[in-house]
Structure 1
């Protein structure tokens, strides 16, 4: 009598474990439309002010306004060989700021800083700059190629932190909220 029960429970547990694997990572969504920014606003706690994404792999940088100021977050897709070979989205807070100033001509150009309790500017800041690269094509008719980038620099000189990190995104892949 007990043998069929044990066999059926073994089969049930085995099938459950086979189906308990990781779901495939969702395909990255292109940031060509404003709908992506709205989607990220719905998912994140706070109001997204700057969102830059690399469409090929879905990694992104976002600057969002929170109840206490602003927060910079970098998200990358990470491969985890120990967890059934899954790909997951790793979100890392790279800075928390008390103030940000956005350029009136282009709100994607921003500088943020943290003000310490004693009134001084802290050792943490974030800035973005618009860069235009121009290059000449060699080996054919004279042709000039140009592209625009948004370079983001994050400075965090707190103990135990990476002192500076730089990110570069195509200007078309960045939206301001």
Structure 2
């Protein structure tokens, strides 16, 4: 049996330092992609919807390529559950979600609260809440609102922000994090 700690640094601590360094030093235009590169060239997404009862747990990227058939399944899963409308979700957002999930070192799937939103649904939600953007990236398939039971809003947001690849919104009162692949920015508390 070997001792995994040396000079007060655990194996987990070293992995955390490595992960943080990988995020900062990733040479690609998206730090999320750079972080995922160390995943053996496999990218996975795992989510469930409390609204539809459906779930998805799949590899969507393999050996440098997105898998078109799997992306179609994810597009359907992330559809506007109110209208049934689905569009092509931006795979860059999946990469951010997968990278953040990996950084949090969890096996629990995300709970998807909102993926694609039709303009009709977005307008309806906007009339009920000031927190819904008029030109929401949900309407173009570039955003997701997510929750994890085992992680706080702050922990999820920090993981997504460390990818420095899109927008991250903290919605602490509603217990979810918005992740998108638009401009790098963050908001909420």
Q: Same fold (TM over 0.5)?
A: no
More helix, by proportion: 2
Give the number of the structure whose alpha-carbon radius of gyration is greater. Answer: 1
More strand, by proportion: 1
- TM, length-normalised to structure 2: 0.28
- TM, length-normalised to structure 1: 0.30
